[in-house]
Chain A
């Protein structure tokens, strides 16, 4: 167990090293000069060069990367080129919004996805089932920005139930979280349905049902535990995706999360912020996967960590 954990952690560190190197390289070859962004339009060539020197951007690529890496190891994500503030602080200031959105989105995803999956399995082969399964496919086929704009149009603009955009109260978070949840819930629904069907098909349960065991009990006692493993794995994956990938939803709803920070930084080649967000998201993805793998044996003793 500990050896396994150690190996996974070493692996994770190597992966993060690779991610940071590739991103740094991509940003280095980007046909845009961060110094021009900092220096602005009235800078003389002299000023431009002095800023370049100041930031160490006149150094060879590998030296720059090494400098970044040594800082990173000491927990220093560097300073934003344009906001002149510590990247760690900037990311931390966006973290509450991102985490709030993520938590709510996953909650909605579970409610919608599992609900649909259970219903579809119980009425398997009937109209309800096919409608639900079709819906689940439509959900995963819908672009987030279309769902977002549609929810915005219906529930904020037309009906006025929710604020159009912004951040602060619970009701601000509902529509963006719902957007993420709808586009992600399809997978949960399909997974829940198939694992319900597996359980319902077992001879043991057929007898239990024949004996008049209530549906609720069957679902709670047998079907849900059977599905819990893939659900955990999917949550792990979702955490990774939502940490860095909510760019679209955040920009539709003006949500002040990490995605917006990254998107604005990309537009203006604020390299330390882009690096910081990429690394934080990569950490989330790696940890999400690791977490899912670690929890698995506790839930299902048949699985052994190797």
Chain B
């Protein structure tokens, strides 16, 4: 490959955007995914307008005299939870939690992962070696146990949960970025730039990072679904977002003992989690296929 063709290639991501969008819109699965994401975002943004009740209001008539939750009915469309709160209102506000954590935690983990991966791949000295050995080490951790321990140490809140997830999840990104950076760094045009006396920083900014953009975009989307799931799992185990802040995971955690007599309390939020994670997966997968048609599936 010559320098010029690669310079052109480097510029592609910005140029391709409108066309990429149009191509994505031709994929039914991507449209479906995007629609679900849009719906959840709208629900989260307009939760105060859409919800009929404040999400943590324990309604007096929301429990039976024996303390059981109400089935879906005219007042409470999705029924009530074990504290007599309106499930629909909690789901709407819970969407905020899921999205904030999904975006923030994944953003953070992409940031850490990229920093580590690029440094490791570019700085082939001891700094890079140390970083990559540390990445190997992190990969050997049982992720869920690590997340639970971290959550216990920092005492969970919305932002802490996001941070914990980022601390556990950056490793995958770092590995992929590392491999790509190495292969980029070995290419002729980079070597040429170097002999011309370009600074490391300049090469990174103008040549490496633009080439990494498609990967980051794909991982930025796919990663959100992993993050959403991990948040739900931590909340399900009781070490996630603190009550009464609703999250789709902790709604299930709080109500799971009733899953036989009040299955809606578990399966409605469960379906919500699945749909959101699926949506990000579909869009991410479509992005990958559009940007890198040679790569198929995970293997």
Contact = CB atoms under 8 A, between A and B. Distances in A.
| A touches B in complex, CB < 8 A | yes
A244 B144 contact: yes
Given A11-B136, A141-B225, A149-B266, A190 B298 contact: yes
A143 B237 CA distance: 12
A30 B155 CA distance: 10
Chain B contact residues: over half helix, strand or loop, or mixed? helix
B142 A281 contact: yes
B290 to A, nearest CB: 16
A18 B137 contact: yes
Contacts, number: 156
A271 to B, nearest CB: 11
B297 to A, nearest CB: 4
B106 interface: no
B145 interface: yes
Interface of A: 11, 14-16, 18-19, 22-23, 26-27, 29-32, 130, 134, 137-138, 140-146, 149-150, 152-153, 157, 187, 190-191, 193-195, 197, 227, 230-231, 233-234, 240-241, 243-245, 247-248, 251, 262-263, 266, 274, 277-278, 281-282, 285-286
Contact of B142 (A130, A153, A194, A285): A285
Nearest to A244: B142
B140 A197 contact: no
Interface residues of B, number: 48
A32 B152 contact: yes
A285 to B, nearest CB: 5
Interface of B: 28-29, 133-134, 136-137, 139-146, 148-150, 152-153, 155, 225, 229, 232-233, 236-237, 249, 252, 256, 259-260, 263, 266-267, 270-271, 273-275, 277-278, 281-282, 285, 296-299
A278 B141 contact: yes
Contact of B149 (A23, A143, A231, A240): A23
A138 B267 contact: no
Nearest to B154: A31
Nearest to B260: A157
A98 to B, nearest CB: 12
Contacts of A277: 142, 145
Given A278-B141, A281-B145, 13 more contacts: A14-B133, A23-B149, A26-B149, A130-B29, A145-B252, A145-B256, A146-B274, A152-B259, A153-B267, A194-B297, A241-B142, A263-B237, A286-B140
B263 A248 contact: no
Looking at A11, A137, A248, the one whose CB has the most chain B CB atoms below 10 A away is A137
B296 A153 contact: no
A247 B278 contact: no
A141 B140 contact: no
A245, A263, A266 pick with most chain B CB within 10 angstroms: A266
A193 B152 contact: no
A143 B152 contact: no
Given A30-B153, A138-B278, A146 B273 contact: yes
Contacts of B133: 14, 18
**Complex A-B, nearest 5 residue pairs according to Cβ-Cβ distance, in ascending order:** A230-B299, A244-B142, A191-B299, A146-B270, A141-B277
Nearest to A231: B299
B152 A30 contact: yes
Contacts of A190: 296-299
A142 B272 CA distance: 10
B86 to A, nearest CB: 21
A150 B137 contact: no
A157 B266 CA distance: 15
A187 B233 contact: no
18 contacts: A19-B140, A141-B281, A143-B270, A143-B273, A143-B277, A146-B252, A146-B267, A150-B267, A152-B259, A153-B263, A187-B299, A230-B298, A231-B299, A234-B299, A244-B142, A245-B143, A278-B142, A285-B142
